[in-house]
Amino acid sequence: MEERELIKRAKKGDHEAFATLFKQHYPFLVKYLIKVTMNKDQAEELAQDTMAKIVEKIHLYNSKSKFSSWLITIATNRYIDIQRKKGKEKNWQKEQANFRSLKWSMESRNEEWNDVLAALSTLEDGVRIPIILKHYYGYSYEEISNMIGLPPGTVKSRTHHGILRLRKELKLDEQ
Amino acid sequence: MNNKQQPNKEHELDQILKAGIEPIENEVDDTAPSQEWFEQFVLQQQKDIKAGLKRDLVLFMFIASCLLILLSLTFVKSPMLFLLLQGAVFIGAAIFSGFTFFKQVKKR
């Protein structure tokens, strides 16, 4: 069944349509959230939280953007909300623990914890998220601005400064 | 010269970032939980949303009733009416709570 039809049925409360939609997008959502949170467990927890929010807010989806984009918009905002509720000091410590946990998990599967991931893990959420959305997923500044609720200028400047830090961290300008 | 180098630099960084982030994609396999698991999840969420709405509605009605009592008391200045309305609201709330509670116990 087509995605549009599934969304139409989900808006009417059809739980099977919801389930099919979620099943199709779950791996994409979790992978995105791992990149944002740098923690697999937190990503899976947040994915469930996002799906719960989608069940509640599906009537707000207007089909202007792709469903997957709307999904990561909700997920990003949930993550930002959760992080805001926690203390900054505690956040930093937890973030470092998250990175270590992901690093360990990847290394245990013989995956390389490379310089890019190490450099990304030094960036704050507010900088890392726009960079991932822009340079990995290819969204425009305007789209990212709508996704995370910040003016396009702010998104652009955060991305720009983040990129400068990444270039410095990766020593790209020295080559 | 610099302007020409800028897109190249950005493209180069895009490639480096994509290659660097790619291993995270392997962190999760492409299999999601079963359709049944998602169906149960959605049904539970829909139930929770309904329960939340019901709770909000009851709270709204309770507050509205209290306001009505205060308003009536102010207009009529009758202690008897006040007591009657108070009693009615209390009994109504108790019946509703009892009914909800027994329904939950029965389900378990």
How many Cβ pairs closer than 8 A exist between chain A and B?
102
How far off is chain B from A39, nearest CA to CA, in Å? 10
Band of residue A94 on the pLDDT scale cut at 50, 70, 90: low
Looking at the fold, whether A6 and A88 belong to one and the same domain comes out as yes
Q: Are A27 and B30 a contacting pair at CB < 8 A?
A: yes
Nearest CB neighbour to A136, from listed B17, B27, B49: B17
CATH number at residue A153: 1.10.10.10
CATH number at residue A2: 1.10.1740.10
Band of residue B99 on the pLDDT scale cut at 50, 70, 90: confident
Q: Distance (Å, rounded) from C-alpha A33 to C-alpha A20?
A: 20
- Scanning A40-124, the segments in alpha helix (DSSP H) are 40-57, 67-85, 88-108, 115-120
The answer to whether the beta carbons of residues B31 and A30 sit under 8 Å apart is no
Phi-psi label, residue A171: left if phi above 0, alpha if psi -120 to 50, beta otherwise: left
The answer to whether the beta carbons of residues A16 and B32 sit under 8 Å apart is no
Q: Distance (Å, rounded) from C-alpha B13 to C-alpha B16?
A: 5
Looking at the fold, whether A6 and A66 belong to one and the same domain comes out as yes
Containing domain of residue A142, as a range? 114-175
Band of residue B1 on the pLDDT scale cut at 50, 70, 90: very low
Residue A26 lies in a domain: yes
Band of residue A143 on the pLDDT scale cut at 50, 70, 90: very high
Read off the pLDDT of each residue in A141-152 and give the average, rounded to a whole number.
91
First-to-last alpha carbon distance for chain B, in angstroms, is 74
Question: What pLDDT does residue A23 have?
Answer: 92
The residue among B83 and A91 whose pLDDT is bigger is: B83
What's the ipTM?
0.77
Domain stop point among A93, A124, A153: A93
Distant-in-sequence, close-in-space partners of B27: CB < 8 Å, separation ≥ 6: A31, A34, A40, A102, A105, A106, A109, A111
Looking at the fold, whether A135 and A67 belong to one and the same domain comes out as no
How far off is chain A from B50, nearest CA to CA, in Å? 10
Question: What total number of domains does chain A contain?
Answer: 2
Looking at the fold, whether A77 and A38 belong to one and the same domain comes out as yes
The answer to whether the beta carbons of residues A27 and B28 sit under 8 Å apart is yes
Kindly tell me if the per-residue pLDDT of B87 is higher than 80: yes
Looking at the fold, whether A11 and A60 belong to one and the same domain comes out as yes
Residue A1 lies in a domain: yes
Residue A132 lies in a domain: yes
Chain A residues touching B30 at Cβ < 8 A: 27
Question: What pLDDT does residue A16 have?
Answer: 93
Chain B residues touching A167 at Cβ < 8 A: 13
Looking at the fold, whether A167 and A120 belong to one and the same domain comes out as yes
- Nearest residue in A to B38, CA atom: A19
